[in-house]
């Protein structure tokens, strides 16, 4: 297929693009490269890859690139509650307005697969799994915009939305601010973590399994279309403290202490059922432990040391 991916050089996109190319698809990436990383350089030799530096909000550019596309993956995003709070106008125009624009310009023959977030569930009920039927009660601007964008995609009648758990794992466009990635980094270099809201639970999913979910949705589109799907590890509904215990299996020197030093702007505290997408035939391949082992190795390459003394 011919696939257009906005934000295709991002944390998820830069893992997704090589997979799609290996599956034989032709891929067009639209990205503004705002983080000044170089995630797609090793793919530039590929004849089936086109890279366009531009803005996913530019109607003329998006309309031109949509022509001939069989599938649309709107990944361009200001990801996370803190970033959206810092730039609410950018968040509104990129997360919601650009997605609505693409949805409105799309034809019924174009398959749209959109990543939303299970932080849209907000504060969950203790001991009760969030399913796709659970009311969405997002707290942050990020969560609210993602929920509205999901509706726009599903309203087209030719879309799938993937409510992603908190992603983790190495990526050519690396992020150190995600929970597993951040905690593992602190374990490797600091050997201690100070936890707030240590009992808050959430679900997790590896970047490669996110890419697999997009491929799976593309392949099984007719059976899955017009529905949202939770995408996460069913054995990884863990609290922050439980996550630290898994990390300690790989970094035994890690010391963990609790303190009332902050709060999650999304108030994320929920457990999630991934039964719906598993019944559709999708299964993740990378465990949380696999991802942490990967990150420990990755942090021999990466170090956030620009302003450190040591």
Q: Has residue 271 got a pLDDT over 70?
A: yes
Given pLDDT bands bounded at 50, 70 and 90, which one contains residue 308? low
Gap between the Cα atoms of 161 and 1, Å rounded: 19
Please tell me the predicted confidence (pLDDT) of residue 106.
Answer: 98
DSSP-derived letter for residue 123 is B
Beta bridge partners of 117: 164
> Residue 234: CA atoms inside 13 Å, Cβ hemisphere, count?
12
Mean pLDDT within 170-183: 96
CATH architecture of 179-202+235-298: Alpha-Beta Complex (3.90)
Mean pLDDT within 270-287: 97
DSSP-derived letter for residue 92 is I
Q: Has residue 300 got a pLDDT over 80?
A: yes
pTM as predicted: 0.95
pLDDT over 90 percentage in the chain? 88
- Per residue in 254-263, pLDDT (tens digit) is 999 998 877 7
Cα-based distances in Å from 157 to 94, 147, 154, 185, 225: 22, 17, 6, 42, 8
Gap between the Cα atoms of 116 and 229, Å rounded: 10
Please tell me the predicted confidence (pLDDT) of residue 303.
Answer: 85
Question: What are the phi and psi torsion angles at 30 (to 5°)?
Answer: -110, 120
CB 267 within 8 A of CB 122: yes
For 126, the token pair is 């203790």
Angle ∠(69,205,197) on CA atoms, nearest 5: 130
Gap between the Cα atoms of 26 and 22, Å rounded: 10
Beta bridge partners of 36: none
List where CATH 3.40.50.720 sits in the chain: 2-168+203-231
pLDDT over 70 percentage in the chain? 98
Beta bridge partners of 228: 161
List where CATH 3.90.25.10 sits in the chain: 179-202+235-298
Residue 251: count other Cβ atoms within 10 Å of its Cβ: 17
Within 8 A by CB and 6+ apart from 307, the residues are none
User: Among the CATH numbers 3.40.50.720, 1.10.3720.10, 3.40.1160.10, 3.40.720.10, which is that of 2-168+203-231?
Assistant: 3.40.50.720
CB 30 within 8 A of CB 4: yes
Please tell me the predicted confidence (pLDDT) of residue 233.
Answer: 98
């Amino acid at each position: 297929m011919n696939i257009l991916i906005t934000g295709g050089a991002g944390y998820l996109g830069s893992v997704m693009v090589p997979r799609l190319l290996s599956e034989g698809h032709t891929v067009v990436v639209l990205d503004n490269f705002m983080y000044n990383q170089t995630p797609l350089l090793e793919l530039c030799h590929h004849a089936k890859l086109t890279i366009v530096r531009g803005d996913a909000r530019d109607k003329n550019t998006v309309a031109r690139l949509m022509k001939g596309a069989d599938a649309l993956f709107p990944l361009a995003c200001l990801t996370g509650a803190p970033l959206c709070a810092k730039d609410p106008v950018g968040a509104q125009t990129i997360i919601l307005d650009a997605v609505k624009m693409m949805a409105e310009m799309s034809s019924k023959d174009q398959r749209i697969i959109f990543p939303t977030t299970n932080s849209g569930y907000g504060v969950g009920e203790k001991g009760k799994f969030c399913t796709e039927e659970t009311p969405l009660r997002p707290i942050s601007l990020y969560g609210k915009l993602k929920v509205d964008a999901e509706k726009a995609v599903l309203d087209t009648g030719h879309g799938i939305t993937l409510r992603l758990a908190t992603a983790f794992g190495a990526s050519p466009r690396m992020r150190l601010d995600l929970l597993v990635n951040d905690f593992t980094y602190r374990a490797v270099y600091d050997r201690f973590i100070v936890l707030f809201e240590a009992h808050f639970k959430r679900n997790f999913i590896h970047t490669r399994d996110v890419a697999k979910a997009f491929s799976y949705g593309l392949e099984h589109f007719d059976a899955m279309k017009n529905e949202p799907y939770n995408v996460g590890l069913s054995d990884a509904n863990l609290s922050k403290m439980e996550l630290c215990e898994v990390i300690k299996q790989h970094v035994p020197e890690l010391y963990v202490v609790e303190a009332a030093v902050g709060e999650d702007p999304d108030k994320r505290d929920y457990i999630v059922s991934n039964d719906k997408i598993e019944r559709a035939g999708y299964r993740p391949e990378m465990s949380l432990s696999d991802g942490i082992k990967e990150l420990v190795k990755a942090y021999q390459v990466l170090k956030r040391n620009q302003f450190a003394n040591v």
